[in-house]
Structure 1
Amino acid sequence: MMRPHHSLALLALLGGCAVGPDYKRPPLPASSGYAPTPLPSATPSQEQRFDSTRDIQADWWTLFRSPKLDALIAQALAASPDLTAAEAALRQAQENVAAQRGYFYPTIGASYMPQRTRIAGNLGGNSPGIQGNGEVISTYEGTPASEGGTPPYTRGVTYSFHTAQLTVGYTPDIFGANRRKVESLQAQSRAQALQLEAARLTLVTNIVAAAIQDGQLREQIALTETMITDQEVAAAIAAKQHRLGYISQVDRAVQDSALAEARKLLPPLRKQFEQNRNLMRALAGQPQDTEVAAFTLADFQLPQDLPLSLPSKLVEQRPDVRMAEERLHAATAGFGAARADLLPQVTLTGDVGGTASKFGQMFWNSGTFFDVFLTLTQSLFNGGTLKHQTRAARAAMEQSAAEYRATAITAFQDVANTLQAIHADAGAFTAAQDAAGSTGTSLTLVRRQHASGYLDRIALIAAEQSHRQALLDVAQARATRLGDTAALFQALGGGWWNRSDVRPSG
């Protein structure tokens, strides 16, 4: 026969184990870079250089050297409802962890039940009765009224009864079901903390992109308006020349068509500009009738020394990859909890209290009581519910493992795409600058010839239009390079781990 202390030792021993599996990070495809052939350590123009040993600073956007951008981002981080929602979701997840931890402890409940009872006097037997003078008698040997008895012995009696009780219940976590549930909720809480970091990174990157777009569109609109004005002059000259018979109707139509094409460019640009301004207000958490900072491309400097994390480090930095891993951890623990639910469940319950007809006598020796009992429960038949729930938990774990690998592979692709874009767009920017230099030289020569009378005004306007179009291309290429750089910081994780207010995991 097992002694009580042996039983307690067995419960303690069993309580030290938890049904598996224990979480282990699954392996990812081996990778040492972002291209089969190592990419150059600098862009073709040598303006930007990559350093695999360089960490990402938390406020990476300050590298663009734009105080207006810094102020707008600070405003957005303080006012964004998306971040407020993500913070509330994190608090909810943390409270769920704390709530689940409560199941490790016993439950204690207290109750007090006062009772007032009147027993009918015609019940007979030993029921209390009332004498004719109103005195209570403890026994009643008379005949009930229903059998022919006569008063006063048929009158009832009223008495009070008090019961106070303390109940303690405890469910030992013998097979670790609750530990697995806590482990799963902790992983979900960490995933929610990473979701907050991902939301913060997305918000900042979107603001940077919108600010760059604001500067680019302003420059495009200004150049397009100038081009339209010049084209209007050219069309007016062509109309006058046609009236005087110097050019044909076809030549005049060519100038009118060029004017119409130039005018057609402006409305879409203005629409895009205003919608981008609306986006900036929304990202900053402001209503649409407020103003936000105005930007030009000259407000931004292109960061020169860029970090480049290795793939093995990237999986630790990217919030989305870390989130996917925490979800896998949660699913693994959920599978363990489902397996533990298949095993017997043990519950210990104890009651202690007192009962008496008078409140002050409840805890006299004659009125106290207690009971202690253990319940062992094992499901024998449940229609396969637990079995299929366990299989579903296993499938969820396998799904999460595949999603983790897919997220990591996509993260590697994002960095590779961004690096290719930085290299290619640096070359495009150089080409655009060369083209602008060529059209600028051509415009200088045309102006000299026009001043000497060798070329008419329409030829001069055409040369000016060609140069302005080249300047538009330069502005677009410059904005693209700035956007590529912001995209690289985002693809590498944004440096959130270097912030002083990063919440601890758990």
Structure 2
Amino acid sequence: MTGRISRNMSTLRPFAAALVATLALSACGYKKTPPPAVVAAPPAWDAPVPVGTADVWPALDWWKGFGSAELDRLVADAKASNTDMAAAAARVTQAQAQLRIAGASLLPSLSFSGSGTTRRAGSGASTSGSATGSSNTAGGWNDTYAASLSASYEVDFWGANAAGEAAAAASLAASRFDQETVALTVTTGVATTYLQVLSLRDRLAVARSNLAIAEDVMGLVEARVNAGAGSDLDLAQQRTVVAQRRGAIPPLEQQAREQLTALAILLGKVPSGFQVAATSLASVGVPKVTAGLPSALLERRPDIKTAEARLSAADANIAVARAAFFPQVTLSASMALQQAAFGDLFSLSGAAYSLAASLVQTIFDGGQRAAQYDLSEAQQVELVQSYRAVILTALRDVEVALGSVDSLERQRVFQDDQVAQARRALELAQIQYRAGSGDLLSVLTAQQSLYAAVDAQAQIKLSALQAVVGLYKALGGGWQAGPQ
């Protein structure tokens, strides 16, 4: 038995040597080039940055800085059920499959075939079956069994297959960065919409409070008219104010419903019956703003990394197009076995081997390869400019967001003082009107000023919180690239 195994191994050596040779002839390979330095990041932001935060980057769970447990839960729901995020995850899976497809071209292909034939001598008739038949010569029948193993390998001398795999890998990275961009858009959208819902509820409370004030003043005017101390004109004017206050409520209610519906869609939920528990922005804190350094932005924003990955894919595609001008070299090896008895089929005593090499060079293709190369180069030039545009846009977004955060925070302080003064002015106007030392016009003016000031206060607070959300989005939401 040992001698037979030795003979079989000896017989296999030419075939094994051919396989080793095909794998040893590796490609010249594709060398990835780093992305060009298209924009020099400034050393610091021009917009005001809070002291002590210039080199700090937002936390990955930045939304927790608002101090709202409900917002935390909504973001978690969106990550689990948002349709855009689910679609982005599916695109990553597709890119992973494309990478495996591209990587398969770097490996040899192996195939096996087997057959069994039964033929009756002199009859001219034959029947083919599977390789599991047996030899039987009784009655003029002859059985023949055959098996073959073949391997082929395209030698990647010019790096075309390696470049194709690199392009697929870069496309996979781009898909992953796109997924992060979608996640950032969804989470900031959830935060922004949630804040809008609460702000509209605040504005509704303000509108109803102002309606109550207007109705109280109308009662006072009616009492003065009944006592003969007021005029019908005063009463008509105040009734007009009451009607205006009532008319301001339905549009705010409709906006609140619309924002609540939008929030439900972001969470992947049916809008009907969806509600949030919070009723006011008073329960939401303003997180500490952190800006990070401009130079870090290139590594922190997923859309920048997406553009960089697509540029790498374009560079690899140029290498593929360039390699198409050179001949293709393919090596192949095969081993064929044929025996009259199935039990002797794999004894290798009757094995036949073949080794082959082929070289294919396209001589004329009507300029197709040249056009493909020109197309790949033009696409790379376009992506370089797109990469530069994305970086410039990112720097602009952060500058604008930082400026908005600073400006709105100062506005909020001034508006709080304006509300306090408007409320005091209305109190004094009402006291004077009751005492008969003031006119209704002063009361009406004070009412209008207070209503406008309080409504503006609610809107400015919303804008200040949304500016913080916008800054987190501009900075990449705390996301950072991991090892690829």
TM tier, smaller: 0.7 to 0.9
Compared CA separation, residues 135 and 187, structure 1 to 2 (3 A): closer
- Counterpart of 1:454, as a letter, is S
Contact 1:34 1:412 in 2 (8 A): no
1:144 paired residue number: none
Compared CA separation, residues 119 and 238, structure 1 to 2 (3 A): farther
Measure how far apart 1:277 and its partner are: 0.8
Q: Does 1:470 pair with 2:478?
A: no
Contact 1:415 1:488 in 2 (8 A): yes
Contact 2:29 2:162 in 1 (8 A): no
2:418 paired residue number: 435
Contact 1:411 1:491 in 2 (8 A): yes
Contact 2:43 2:295 in 1 (8 A): no
Measure how far apart 1:430 and its partner are: 2.5
Contact 1:214 1:276 in 2 (8 A): yes
Q: Indicate the larger mover: 263-272 or 456-465.
A: 456-465
1:448 to 431, 447, 469: 431
Sequence identity percentage: 28
1:29 paired residue number: 39
What CA distance in whole angstroms lies between the structure 1 residues aligned with 2:318 and 2:221?
80
Measure how far apart 1:193 and its partner are: 1.3
Contact 1:100 1:178 in 2 (8 A): yes
Measure how far apart 1:350 and its partner are: 1.1
1:318 paired residue number: 301
Measure how far apart 1:241 and its partner are: 7.6
Matches within 5 A, 1:62-461: 62-117=64-119, 159-232=142-215, 246-247=230-231, 254-288=237-271, 289-304=273-288, 306-363=289-346, 367-455=350-438, 460=443
TM superposition outliers: structure 1 runs of 4+ over 6 Å: 8-14, 236-245
Compared CA separation, residues 364 and 336, structure 1 to 2 (3 A): same
Measure how far apart 1:55 and its partner are: 2.1
CA deviation profile, 1:266-324 (whole Å, cap 9, x unmatched): 222111101111122222232223333334111111123x2222322111111111101
Give the structure with higher Rg (CA): 1
What CA distance in whole angstroms lies between the structure 2 residues aligned with 1:192 and 1:300?
34
Contact 1:216 1:479 in 2 (8 A): yes
Contact 2:329 2:357 in 1 (8 A): yes
What CA distance in whole angstroms lies between the structure 1 residues aligned with 2:280 and 2:52?
27
Q: Indicate the larger mover: 313-322 or 251-260.
A: 251-260
Q: Indicate the larger mover: 26-35 or 337-346.
A: 26-35
Measure how far apart 1:179 and its partner are: 1.0
2:133 paired residue number: none
Compared CA separation, residues 231 and 403, structure 1 to 2 (3 A): same
1:45 paired residue number: none
What CA distance in whole angstroms lies between the structure 2 residues aligned with 1:303 and 1:364?
78
Measure how far apart 1:164 and its partner are: 0.6
What CA distance in whole angstroms lies between the structure 2 residues aligned with 1:188 and 1:458?
69
Structure 1: gaps (5+ residues): 43-48, 124-133, 137-156
What CA distance in whole angstroms lies between the structure 2 residues aligned with 1:168 and 1:162?
21
1:151 paired residue number: none
2:28 paired residue number: 16
Determine helix, strand or coil for the equivalent of 1:26.
coil
Compared CA separation, residues 295 and 77, structure 1 to 2 (3 A): farther
Compared CA separation, residues 121 and 491, structure 1 to 2 (3 A): closer
Compared CA separation, residues 173 and 234, structure 1 to 2 (3 A): same
Compared CA separation, residues 116 and 446, structure 1 to 2 (3 A): same
2:48 paired residue number: 40
Measure how far apart 1:135 and its partner are: 9.1
What CA distance in whole angstroms lies between the structure 2 residues aligned with 1:203 and 1:235?
47
RMSD over aligned Cα, in angstroms? Answer: 3.2
Measure how far apart 1:254 and its partner are: 4.2
Determine helix, strand or coil for the equivalent of 1:15.
coil
CA deviation profile, 1:342-383 (whole Å, cap 9, x unmatched): 211111111102123443344566742121101111111122
Compared CA separation, residues 420 and 495, structure 1 to 2 (3 A): same
Structure 2: gaps (5+ residues): 1-16, 126-136
Q: Indicate the larger mover: 268-277 or 438-447.
A: 438-447
CA deviation profile, 1:376-401 (whole Å, cap 9, x unmatched): 11111122221111111111111111
TM-score, normalization: structure 2?
0.84
Measure how far apart 1:259 and its partner are: 3.9
| Aligned length in residues | 453
1:495 paired residue number: 478
- Counterpart of 1:30, as a letter, is A
Contact 1:234 1:461 in 2 (8 A): no
What CA distance in whole angstroms lies between the structure 2 residues aligned with 1:12 and 1:166?
20
Compared CA separation, residues 247 and 186, structure 1 to 2 (3 A): same
